[in-house]
Amino acid sequence: MSRREAKSVTATLPTGVEAPIFAEPWQAEAFAMTVALHDKGLFSWSEWAGALSAEVKQPGAASDGHDYYEHWLAALENLLSAKGVAGKGDIDALAAAWGRAALATPHGKPILLENDPSPTEGRGGPTG
Amino acid sequence: MSHDHDHDHDNELDPFAARVRALETILTQKGLIDPAAIDVIVDSYETKIGPRNGAKVVAKAWLEPDFAAWLKRDATAAIGSLGYTGRQGEHMQAVFNTADTHNLVVCTLCSCYPWSVLGLPPVWYKAPPYRSRAVIDPRGVLEEFGLTLPATTKIRVWDSTAELRYLVVPMRPKGTDGWSEERLADLVTRDAMIGTGLAREPA
């Protein structure tokens, strides 16, 4: 069988070709946050592997693996919620605020949470 | 963060990016992460940690029988002696290919991988088809990677866990007598150290 036909396992990626590790910056940040939280002792690496495994084995995972970091992020959110660090509601509200802040930020300027034009919308004050 | 500079399209965060920002905000406020440290981690995985580390380990094992014996006996310590240590406290085991046996590494559970020596895994390693099929039909999987082994060669599949990760030490190609460690390391590909390939033949 030629490499050209090698579709089922290697998906769209020819062997030996070094694809970028992270397709988008948020993937790198989600990865690094997980490593940093483990360094901090918030969870053991076995706990993490369990959380990630639960996500990636759900039916519907893309066979080419492109959604891997989406599962990674979901696993991180689940673990943080289970640890009582950040609930889904907190994350939803703050993510919406970041989305509004991004839209309100002019081109070329760094996106800051302070740029959110309606900071009280759906956010119950400080999350600490 | 440094990644956000110079985007000249509309300032619109996709939902995943917004959720990551939200997590960063919460975790920073709680003092659980330091954004500067996050940048350092990203930078080291993007630029410093990669399969070149593992290639040096393999080339050294090819050249120095004592190091090879150490690697076989206690891979965590032998690899650590070169400055490559796992962040997750995982143990390493080196599995040596021989004329009779070829070794192949997979993580059926999720995507455990020897980061300290290979960097982060390629996309196919994390994808369901490889994770499920490497164990069931390793010979077929290898053929899809363009690697056809003699029917007499035994294939051993090693399933990684969070605590134990494997590094395949491929066989040293013929025609490389007298080569330096550096030159040998150039023959050692990432796929050869996962077991989905062999070391390159000298040109």
The pLDDT, as a whole number, for residue A20 is 60
Task: Return all residues near B27 (Cβ < 8 A) that are at least 6 apart.
Answer: A33, A37, A80, A85, A86, B33
Task: Return all residues near B81 (Cβ < 8 A) that are at least 6 apart.
Answer: B70
Question: Closest Cα partner for B153 from B186, B203, B198?
Answer: B198
DSSP A114: G
Which of B8-12, B15-19, B119-123 has the highest mean predicted lDDT (pLDDT)?
B15-19
Contact A9 B38 (CB under 8 A): no
Residue whose structure tokens are 């410093």:
B48
What is the b/e burial string over A38-65, where b = at least 16 CB atoms within 10 angstroms of the residue's CB? beeebbebeebbbbbbebbeeeebeebb
Q: Output B140 or B120, whichever has higher pLDDT.
A: B140
Q: How far apart are the C-alpha atoms of B56 and B141, rounded to whole Å?
A: 27
Q: Is pLDDT at B5 greater than 60 in this prediction?
A: no
Claim: this prediction has a pTM higher than 0.90: no
Collect all residues of chain A within an 8 Å Cβ-Cβ radius of residue B4: 25, 110-111
Contact A52 B22 (CB under 8 A): no
DSSP B87: T
- Residues of B forming the active site: 107, 110-112
The pLDDT, as a whole number, for residue B10 is 58
pLDDT digits (tens, 9 = 90+) for B41-57: 888 887 777 888 999 99
How sure is the predictor about B18, in pLDDT bands with cuts at 50, 70 and 90? very high
Tell me what percent of the residues of chain B surpass a pLDDT of 90: 65
Q: Is pLDDT at A88 greater than 60 in this prediction?
A: yes
Which of A44-58, B93-107, B111-125 has the highest mean predicted lDDT (pLDDT)?
B93-107
How sure is the predictor about B111, in pLDDT bands with cuts at 50, 70 and 90? confident
Contact A8 B129 (CB under 8 A): yes
- Residue A119 contacts B where some CB pair is shorter than 8 Å: no
Phi-psi bin for B100: left (phi > 0), alpha (psi -120 to 50), beta?
Answer: alpha
The pLDDT, as a whole number, for residue A4 is 37
Average pLDDT for B139-154: 95
Collect all residues of chain B within an 8 Å Cβ-Cβ radius of residue A76: 23
Q: Is pLDDT at A128 greater than 50 in this prediction?
A: no
Tokens at residue A50, please? 């369990």
What is the b/e burial string over A74-87, where b = at least 16 CB atoms within 10 angstroms of the residue's CB? bbbbebbeeeebbe
Distances (CA, A) of B43 to A29, A76, B40: 10, 21, 5
The pLDDT, as a whole number, for residue A7 is 42
- Residue among B23, B85, B120 with most chain A CBs within 10 A, to mutate: B23
Tokens at residue B8, please? 């000249």
Longest distance between any two alpha carbons in chain B, whole Å: 60
Tokens at residue A70, please? 């989406």
Q: Is pLDDT at A6 greater than 80 in this prediction?
A: no
Phi-psi bin for A108: left (phi > 0), alpha (psi -120 to 50), beta?
Answer: left
**What CATH code is assigned to B50-194?**
3.90.330.10
Q: How far apart are the C-alpha atoms of B11 and A111, rounded to whole Å?
A: 8
Chain B residue with minimal CA distance to A66?
B123
What is the b/e burial string over B52-80, where b = at least 16 CB atoms within 10 angstroms of the residue's CB? ebbbbbbbbbbeeeebbebbeebbbebbe
Q: Is pLDDT at B8 greater than 50 in this prediction?
A: no
Radius of gyration of chain A (CA): 18
Average pLDDT for A64-85: 93
Collect all residues of chain A within an 8 Å Cβ-Cβ radius of residue B106: none
Q: How many CB pairs under 8 A join A and B?
A: 218
Q: How far apart are the C-alpha atoms of A64 and A74, rounded to whole Å?
A: 18
Q: Output B71 or B9, whichever has higher pLDDT.
A: B71
Using DSSP's 3-state secondary structure scheme, residue B124 falls into helix
Contact A16 B37 (CB under 8 A): no
- Residue A58 contacts B where some CB pair is shorter than 8 Å: no
Residue B126 Cα, gap to closest chain A Cα (Å): 6
- Residue A15 contacts B where some CB pair is shorter than 8 Å: yes
Which of A113-117, B30-34, B117-121 has the highest mean predicted lDDT (pLDDT)?
B30-34
Residue span(s) of chain B under CATH 3.90.330.10 come to: 50-194
